[in-house]
Amino acid sequence: MTTSSPGTAAPVRPDQTRTSAPVLQVDGLVRAYGDLRAVDGVSLRVDPGETFGLLGPNGAGKTTTILMIAGLLRPDAGSVHVAGTDMAADPIRAKGHLGLVPQELAIYPELSARDNLRFFGRLQGLRGTRLKTRVEEVLELVGLEDRSKKPSKTFSGGMKRRLNIGIGLLHEPTLLILDEPTVGVDPQSRHAILESVATLTDAGMAVLYTTHYMEEAERLCDRIAVMDEGRVQAQGTRDELVELVGDADLVVLAGGGALEAAEAAVEVLPAVQRVTRDAEGLRLTVRGAPTAITGIVTAATDAGMSLHDVQITRPDLESVFLHLTGRALRD
Amino acid sequence: MRALLVLVAHDLRQHLRDRSMVLFAVVIPLALSAVFSLAFSGVDDPQLEPVTAAVSVPEGDEAAAAVPQTLAGLAEAGIDVTVLEVPADEVTAAVTSGQAQVGITLPQGYAAALADGTGATVEVEVGEDAGLAGQVVVGVVSSTVQAMGRDATAVAAGAELGLDGQQLEALVAQLSGGGSGAGGPSEAEASAADGAAGTAEGAEDGLATGGAAWTVRGVAGGQLSLSAGIVAGQAGMFLFFTVGFAVLTMLTEREWGTLARVRSAPIRPWLVPLAKAVVAVLLGTASTTVLLVAGSLFLENVAFGSWPVVLVLVVAVVAAATSVMALILKLAGTAEQASLMLSVVAISLGVVGGTFFRVPTRGSWARCSRSTRSRRSAAG
Ligand SMILES: Nc1ncnc2c1ncn2[C@@H]1O[C@H](COP(=O)(O)OP(=O)(O)OP(=O)(O)O)[C@@H](O)[C@H]1O
Ligand SMILES: [Mg+2]
């Protein structure tokens, strides 16, 4: 089983012992706004050190779910347990394990990066030298040391985003919740943000990451829940999800010559499930295309086909989403 | 409670940083007091300079003699009038020379003319430097003469008795009540009545009712003077803006998104509004105190009584204002709605503001405890 995230392979920080108890356990969360059931029976589990993606289009209910997990919105039904503590029963204790990075910026524009960090650090109960060192560490992590004295309103959008994320990391939470942290950020800052999230998960922090960018989910997350219309449509590792659409790759052999003979030749290969022929060449549905591709190309050319181009398209979360909901992920 | 301190200190620092706290707590109150001192100096106790009236009375005319007697009676009422009895041909000279500010010539046969109803002309000359007191004298003379013309018998009787201060008041009150639309003279008479009462109370109430019905009351304990009332009223209104300003940061923080973030921290949720309220009380108390102190320094005649009592009162009122703000916050969805509501409340309070503070000194504690109680019920 392959994963697209470097997180799983990373060593776990020695002071954070992995236990089997989940960092986050969400059961049957429901929240309605009037007639609209924004969140309709969501259950999730995030294990220690894991990066969990909540993937869904605009209005899927991701933020609403996050708000309930963070104890900012009371669920109509269902429960949230953070590191074993019931959010409804002991919100202060449960919140102590969480670091929230809201979707919208949540920083004081008049305060400098350092003062923003200091204030939120104090609210999290940090003080003295620990507060000081953490503030400096986070400033370095989000790359704002040189701008730390300027009011944050003078920052660029990407810098504000990075500060926004930094505040959530300050107290080294057991679970960091990132709600679409890369929206409206240029590719460079986006890369920096994804890098720093990867660094954190390497360090053993569990992350709950919402996004509507499939690539981000694929790149970062160990496990992903595909969410639409308030429900989790499917959840699992990327490969488990992709298997839902049949784990079949699309191979396009473009070219001319003896197409009919080539079709007959590749059709008999065990990896090939289906072949269609058109004016430009052959389209094959293949199981495990990367390994089967040499055999396919050899068979086709041996049969007298002259190849111009070979394309392999692997199924991705986009096709998973299409498969699950009948809609494209993009807005 | 560390979290509360963190929140309060953070808010105060924020206000300090954008200079709004200094602006609201010190600069604006001082500026307001300066404006008040310009606008309202001399509103209290119209300053009546001594005035001399040169009066010529025909020999043996009892009715005519009532006029100088009436004027002399004004002295009792607090207006310094010197009556100079002169021959008829010297009245004008007395006025032009500045020896007298008002000259009054009662014609020969005045009493007879009144008795047979043919009417008589009383000449009144007013000198350039007559001032307000001179106007008062003119007003009193004209009303006395008119009253005589209306009821000669009464005047004769009055002349025999000599009108005393109280009767004069009644007379003037009757006249000014009847001729409220008459403008200038009626105002002068009003001042006379006020002078007769010898306190600022008359002027204060008079302004409040639009200058029409000037009632004269006895002095009732430690009421505030007019300026003090205005300063207190403005303080009441200003207080609301200050308190509102502090509490409205709650809405600003909602817009910044920081409110949700603060609430996601492991602190008790009610600490957040409590911290805002504490900041509001601190800021409101500071600014109101500055305004009241500055008012009593800049303006004469402004005194609020015992300072500790006033301070307690101010804190109680600030607390009440804070809870009204909390209510506004609850009702208003956006910062715009909230500031609109705030303005309405603040201006209404400014209008009735004086009432808030117009406290008899002895009754202060009763008032205080009442506002404290209303604060509790508003907060609960
Ligand atoms: N305060 C609210 N009042 C009414 N409806 C709301 C409210 N907040 C969210 N909704 C609705 O609930 C649904 C889910 O919203 P939510 O913000 O959770 O979506 P999301 O998955 O976070 O979307 P996005 O990717 O755009 O952030 C939407 O239809 C939204 O209109
Ligand atoms: Mg969202």
Reported ipTM = 0.76
In this prediction, residues A101-119 reach a mean pLDDT of 92
pLDDT value for A5? 41
* Same domain membership, residue B179 and residue B310: no
* Same domain membership, residue B65 and residue B143: yes
Residue A42 backbone phi and psi in degrees, to 5: -90, 130
Residue B24 binned pLDDT confidence (cut-offs 50, 70, 90): low
Whether A247 has a pLDDT exceeding 90, the answer reads no
- Find out whether the beta carbon of A63 lies less than 6 Å from any atom of ligand 1: yes
* Same domain membership, residue B17 and residue B60: no
Chain B interface test: which of A68, A98, A119 (most B C-beta within 10 Å): A119
Looking at the domain assignment, is residue B90 inside a domain? yes
- Find out whether the beta carbon of A72 lies less than 6 Å from any atom of ligand 1: no
* Same domain membership, residue B99 and residue B36: no
CA distance B13 to B21: 9
pLDDT value for B370? 34
Interval B232-250: pLDDT, tens: 666 666 677 677 777 778 8
| Structural fold of domain A247-314 | Alpha-Beta Plaits (3.30.70)
- Ligand 1 midpoint to CA A59 (Å): 5
CATH number at residue B136: 3.40.190
Task: Provide the shortest C-alpha distance from residue A173 to chain B (in Å).
Answer: 11
Q: Which residues constitute the domain of residue B78?
A: 51-210
Domain count within chain B? 2
Residue A204 binned pLDDT confidence (cut-offs 50, 70, 90): confident
A104: nearest CB among B7, B257, B264: B257
- A-chain residues within 8 Å CB-CB of B267? 92, 123
Looking at the domain assignment, is residue B372 inside a domain? no
Residue with the bigger pLDDT between A256 and B315: it is A256
Inform me whether the C-beta atom of residue A150 falls under 8 Å from chain B C-beta atoms.
no
pLDDT value for A42? 94
* Same domain membership, residue B355 and residue B251: yes
Task: Provide the shortest C-alpha distance from residue A100 to chain B (in Å).
Answer: 7
In this prediction, residues A134-151 reach a mean pLDDT of 88
Looking at the domain assignment, is residue B220 inside a domain? no
DSSP state of B361: G
Interval B282-339: pLDDT, tens: 887 777 777 777 766 765 555 565 667 777 777 777 777 777 777 776 776 666 676 6
Neighbours of ion ligand 2 (CB under 5 A): A 62-63, 103
- B-chain residues within 8 Å CB-CB of A92? 266-268
* Same domain membership, residue B205 and residue B167: yes
Between chains, do B6 and A122 touch, taking CB under 8 Å as contact? yes
* Same domain membership, residue B91 and residue B23: no
In this prediction, residues A114-129 reach a mean pLDDT of 93
Q: Which of A10-14, A65-69, A210-214, B293-297 has the highest mean pLDDT?
A: A65-69
CA-closest residue to ligand 1 atom 31: A59
Percent of chain B with pLDDT over 70: 51
Residue A32 binned pLDDT confidence (cut-offs 50, 70, 90): very high
- B-chain residues within 8 Å CB-CB of A167? 261
* Same domain membership, residue B116 and residue B57: yes
Between chains, do A92 and B267 touch, taking CB under 8 Å as contact? yes
* Same domain membership, residue B151 and residue B97: yes
* Same domain membership, residue B26 and residue B80: no
- Ligand 2 midpoint to CA B304 (Å): 56
- B-chain residues within 8 Å CB-CB of A122? 6
Residue with the bigger pLDDT between A133 and B366: it is A133
- In 10 A of CB A176, how many CB atoms? 23
* Same domain membership, residue B125 and residue B255: no
Mutation to probe ligand 1, out of A30, A31, A39, A62 (largest number of atoms < 8 A from CB): A62
Of all atoms in ligand 1, which is nearest to the CA of residue A103?
27
Q: What stretch(es) of chain A map to CATH 3.40.50.300?
A: 2-242
Looking at the domain assignment, is residue B219 inside a domain? no
pLDDT value for B365? 34
Mutation to probe ligand 1, out of A35, A58, A67, A74 (largest number of atoms < 8 A from CB): A58
- Ligand 2 midpoint to CA A138 (Å): 25
Inform me whether the C-beta atom of residue A102 falls under 8 Å from chain B C-beta atoms.
yes
Residue A250's Cβ-count burial label (10 Å; 0-12, 13-18, 19+) is middle
Helix (H) or strand (E) holding A278: strand A272-278
* Same domain membership, residue B184 and residue B95: yes
Looking at the domain assignment, is residue B197 inside a domain? yes
How many whole angstroms from its chain centre is CA A276? 35
- Ligand 1 midpoint to CA A292 (Å): 45
Inform me whether the C-beta atom of residue A96 falls under 8 Å from chain B C-beta atoms.
yes
Strands A85-86 and A77-82: antiparallel
Whether A307 has a pLDDT exceeding 90, the answer reads no
CA-closest residue to ligand 1 atom 4: A33
Total H helices, total E strands in chain A: 11, 14
- In 10 A of CB A219, how many CB atoms? 17
CA distance B93 to B54: 10
Which residues, at least 6 apart from A163, have a Cβ–Cβ distance to it below 8 Å?
Answer: A107, A113, A116, A117, A142, A144, A152, A155
What is the pTM for the complete model shown? 0.62
Residue B85's Cβ-count burial label (10 Å; 0-12, 13-18, 19+) is exposed
Looking at the structure, give the CATH architecture of the domain made up of residues A2-242. 3-Layer(aba) Sandwich (3.40)
Residue B124 identity (one-letter amino acid): V
